[in-house]
Amino acid sequence: MPTGTEAAGRPPQAPAQEGQEGHGESAVPAGQEARAAARVAVLEEALGDPADERNEVSYAHLLQADEAGELSEPGERVLDEVMLNADFVPRGQGGRLERIDHLVRVLRPVFRRDVALGLGYGVTSFMAAVNVWAAGDGEQRRRMARLLLEGGKVSVAYHELAHGNDFVRNEFAAQAEAGGGYRLKGSKQVVNNAGRARAWVLFSRTDPAPGSRSHSVLFTGRDSCDPERYRVLPRYDSVGVRGCHLSGLEFDDCHVPPSDLVGEAGKGVEVALRAFQITRTAMPGMALGAADTALRTVVRFAAGRRLYRRTVLEIPHARAALAGAFTDLLVCDSLSLAASRAVHLLPAETSVYAAAVKYLVPRMLSETMNELAVVLGARYYVREGEFGIFQKHIRDLPVLSLGHAGSAACQATIIPQLSRLARRSWFTSPPAPPELFALRGDLPGIPFDRLTLTAGGDSLSATLVAAVDELPAGTPLEQAVRDLALGMVGELRQVQERSRALSATDRTALARPAAFALAERYTVLLAAASAIGVWQQARGDGTFLSDPAWLAAALHRLARRLGQRPPELPPQCGERVDREVLRRFEQQRSYDLYDTPLAG
Amino acid sequence: MSVPTTAPTAQSLSAWLVDRIGGYLQRPVEEIDTTVPLAEYGLDSVAALSLCGDIEEDFDLVVEPTVAWDYPTVEALTGHLLEEFAAGPGAA
């Protein structure tokens, strides 16, 4: 029998696999990795077995809360008890935040159970706080840290419905007052937790002139506002994340002190764009937890249901859908990993990677879940019972592509950089450092001040280019990987040529669809490069990730996404991935890069 | 990389900027007043970033991506870029 705390929730057959685990319990690395793994285990244990209806944070109870349009109260209590807010506060400020990839891992158990809880309990506060970590002064950072460590919530209000992601045109005003401080006037819509937050981070117009130097970020405490001068707007009903408290704020000449200004006056767009790089990088990887549950739910269904005198699992189409979903999860996690580690290692390149993650990962996960829905059949439409969580996750996940930065806004971040990267970086930059892909490798701190608004280069795609010369081609699988990688490099050449040829109008927000498609193709290539990097790092460690089977499957799916028609993979590739899907189901392990033990 | 043999003048820089910005806005160059903020013409933040790439490409001069925010007119941008050229290649 397994012993030790990490064994909690693991079935007895798990230790038999220890021999092929590179990172088994006996070899927990010290330092950062040990802290992260322990923290993930704490969250997993505190939230408990989601399939056990006696558990107050089970899928059954979370579905009830969703039907009632409320956040799960026991869920919030558990997250209070483990003090999840501390994970949003840098270690230097008394919290636990040290790495973006770790934050992603820590939130994944929450999103695995409930996207609304993940967003509504905490990530909203993190999105707000990042502005202060990145641009606030010492006193503001202390104020934010205190508020969060006391369990308080902070809202962030960037958007106004009338202007969408074109937030440079926002009108909510903070007029400088002669006696110092600002006078808030106007409203902000669709603000998560607006009514229950202890403070708000407000993106405000401080100058009536058009352009990008007319906005500032304010960090305003609720209790510093005259209650007669502001009101919380009515709550919105939404298709997904029904439990989230989405409302708005309206201010009527409400005075706030000068100390609320975060960073310099007029630099609000820059502050927001820097903060976005962190949050856009982190959130899709967290939400991967929801797709993980969706896959596990469908595997459970497929293993138990019999049709045509066999289980659904034995039907080739169903098997292929499950393996495809698992492969997509690994690809998404690879891109998420590379981007979140790039924040630490390649901050000057992060602007493009953050937009790529925020664009591609939610899209891929939503598509994957739609493919899984086909296997689930009619049960996909049922809102309760054993498989009810699936429809909740499939409704909740699109919020990732809507709030915060729409897909098109992410492409618009990439488009003006394409021609520059095409001329200056692709096929000439050196490859990314191998540590970018080291799942459990240590990282330096978060260099908030070194995040730049445009990417100085792109060494992630250079990893793809360099890999073609380094990849082995001994076995048929390795040969397949190499051929697929060659195809990707050919695609990068085409993206390069087309990026160079983009006309002036195609390098603005009003670019033609072809420019948006080009940005999309580029994000797929970054995903391919990330998967290759992850495999190269894992090589020889004996884990599933060191097997070329998953990489071949990953590149194959990405090639098809690009419209290529690669030859079929050798049959052992699919068999290997299928086996892993089943192993992780049987042993209750996560469907991501980390192969983490789950509570259920 | 192409390096111009002679440093640009205020006149040539201004004409180059007007030409590029006209391209982004799809407006005839005669309509672009060098003293009017570009944002008033509707030059979006994406195009402003693209313009920085053009400056880098045509003059081999690396500029801050926010340069068009801080120097919001053709006239102001011209003045700033001339100073950058004077400071020498790569000084930015």
> Which one of A270, A274, A508 would you mutate to disrupt binding with B, by most B Cβ within 10 Å of its Cβ?
A508
Q: Do residue A165 and residue A186 come from a single domain?
A: yes
Quickly count: other Cβ atoms within 10 Å of residue A541's Cβ. 14
The CATH number of the domain where A347 resides is what?
1.20.140.10
Dump the DSSP string for A283-332: HHHHHHHHHHHHHHHHHHHHHH-EETTEEGGGSHHHHHHHHHHHHHHHHH
Q: Do residue A456 and residue A442 come from a single domain?
A: yes
Query: Is residue B2 included in any domain, yes or no?
Result: no
SS3 assignment for A125-150: HHHHHHHHHHHCCHHHHHHHHHHHHC
Which secondary structure element, helix H or strand E, spans residue A220, and what is its range?
strand A215-221
Task: State the angle between helix axes of A100-113 and A32-47 in degrees (0 to 180), rounded to the nearest 10.
Answer: 10
Contact A52, A113 (CB under 8 A): no
Judging contacts by C-beta atoms under 8 Å, the chain A residues touching residue B37 are 209-211
Which residues from B are below 8 Å from A when comparing CB atoms? 20, 23-24, 26, 37-40, 44-50, 52-53, 56-57, 65-66, 69-70, 72
Query: Is residue B4 included in any domain, yes or no?
Result: no
Count of H helices and E strands in chain A? Answer: 18, 10
- Cβ distance B24 to A416 less than 8 Å, yes or no, reads no
- Cβ distance A212 to B46 less than 8 Å, yes or no, reads no
The CATH number of the domain where B41 resides is what?
1.10.1200.10
Report pLDDT for A579.
Answer: 95
Nearest C-alpha in B relative to A212: B69
- Surface-to-core class of residue B88, CB atoms within 10 Å of its CB (0-12 exposed, 13-18 middle, 19+ buried): exposed
Which residue positions in chain A have pLDDT lower than 70? Answer: 1-30, 160-168, 378, 380-384, 401-405
For the four alpha carbons of A313, A316, A317 and A322, in that order, the dihedral sign comes to: positive
Q: Which long-range contacts (CB under 8 A, 24 or more apart) does A18-27 make?
A: A20/A542, A20/A543, A21/A542, A21/A543, A21/A595, A22/A538, A22/A541, A22/A542, A22/A543, A22/A546, A23/A440, A23/A543
Q: Do residue A262 and residue A287 come from a single domain?
A: no
Query: Is residue A598 included in any domain, yes or no?
Result: no
Total number of residues shown for chain A = 600
Q: Cα dist. A478→A20, A481, A536, A579, A594 in Å?
A: 20, 5, 12, 19, 23
Cβ-proximal residues to B43 (8 Å cutoff; 6+ apart), any chain: B21, B24, B25, B68
Contact A417, A307 (CB under 8 A): no
Contact B27, A505 (CB under 8 A): no
Q: Cα dist. A183→A178, A192, A253, A269 in Å?
A: 10, 23, 5, 20
Q: How far apart are CA A518 and CA A507, in angstroms?
A: 11
Contact A414, A345 (CB under 8 A): no
Question: What are B66-81's pLDDT values in tens digits?
Answer: 898 899 999 999 999 9
What value, to the nearest 5°, has the Cα angle with vertex A353 and ends A348 and A354?
A: 95
Query: Is residue A593 included in any domain, yes or no?
Result: no
Q: Do residue A248 and residue A145 come from a single domain?
A: no
Report pLDDT for A570.
Answer: 94
What domain count does chain B have? 1
What value, to the nearest 5°, has the Cα angle with vertex A516 and ends A511 and A518?
A: 120
Measured in angstroms, the CA of B7 and the nearest CA of chain A are apart by: 22
Query: Is residue B22 included in any domain, yes or no?
Result: yes
Complex confidence, ipTM = 0.83
Report pLDDT for A163.
Answer: 66
Q: Do residue A455 and residue A413 come from a single domain?
A: yes
What domain count does chain A have? 4
Contact A251, A184 (CB under 8 A): yes
Q: How many CA atoms lie within 13 A of A562 on its CB side?
A: 29
Cβ-proximal residues to A570 (8 Å cutoff; 6+ apart), any chain: A476, A477, A480
Q: Do residue A248 and residue A327 come from a single domain?
A: no
- Cβ distance B50 to A212 less than 8 Å, yes or no, reads no
Q: How confident is the model at residue B5 (pLDDT cuts 50, 70, 90)?
A: low
- Cβ distance A453 to B49 less than 8 Å, yes or no, reads yes
Which is nearest to A99 in space by CA: A442, A520, A381, A460? A442
Q: How far apart are CA A356 and CA A413, in angstroms?
A: 9
Report pLDDT for B60.
Answer: 86
Q: How far apart are CA A2 and CA A18, in angstroms?
A: 11
- Surface-to-core class of residue A351, CB atoms within 10 Å of its CB (0-12 exposed, 13-18 middle, 19+ buried): buried
Q: What are the start-end ranges of the E strands in A412-566?
A: none
Q: Do residue A472 and residue A324 come from a single domain?
A: yes
| pLDDT-above-70 percentage for chain B | 89
Which secondary structure element, helix H or strand E, spans residue A175, and what is its range?
strand A173-176
Q: Cα dist. A451→A138, A353, A526, B50, B52 in Å?
A: 19, 12, 19, 19, 17
Query: Is residue B91 included in any domain, yes or no?
Result: no
Q: Do residue A415 and residue A558 come from a single domain?
A: yes
Nearest C-alpha in A relative to B60: A424
Report pLDDT for A168.
Answer: 67
Query: Is residue B1 included in any domain, yes or no?
Result: no
Query: Is residue B3 included in any domain, yes or no?
Result: no
Q: How far apart are CA A177 and CA A256, in angstroms?
A: 10
The CATH number of the domain where A142 resides is what?
1.10.540
Contact A452, B65 (CB under 8 A): yes
Contact A417, A354 (CB under 8 A): no
Query: Is residue A573 included in any domain, yes or no?
Result: yes
Query: Is residue A396 included in any domain, yes or no?
Result: yes
- Beta strands A199-205 and A154-157 are parallel
Q: Do residue A207 and residue A138 come from a single domain?
A: no
- Cβ distance A505 to B23 less than 8 Å, yes or no, reads yes
Residue A173, helix vs strand vs coil: strand
Report pLDDT for A15.
Answer: 36
Q: Do residue A250 and residue A296 come from a single domain?
A: no
Q: Do residue A356 and residue A476 come from a single domain?
A: yes
Q: Which domain holds residue B66?
A: 10-86
Contact A459, A430 (CB under 8 A): yes
- Cβ distance B57 to A423 less than 8 Å, yes or no, reads yes
Q: Do residue A567 and residue A428 come from a single domain?
A: yes
Report pLDDT for B1.
Answer: 44
Last residue of a domain, one of A217, A235, A267: A267
Contact A593, A334 (CB under 8 A): yes
User: Residue A97 carries which DSSP code?
Assistant: B
Measured in angstroms, the CA of A280 and the nearest CA of chain B are apart by: 18
Contact pairs from chain A to chain B, CB under 8 Å:
75
Q: How far apart are CA A37 and CA A41, in angstroms?
A: 6
Q: How far apart are CA A355 and CA B54, in angstroms?
A: 22
Q: Which domain holds residue A365?
A: 271-586
Report pLDDT for A203.
Answer: 93
Q: What average pLDDT does the structure give for chain B?
A: 86
Question: What are B20-44's pLDDT values in tens digits?
Answer: 999 998 899 999 999 999 988 988 8
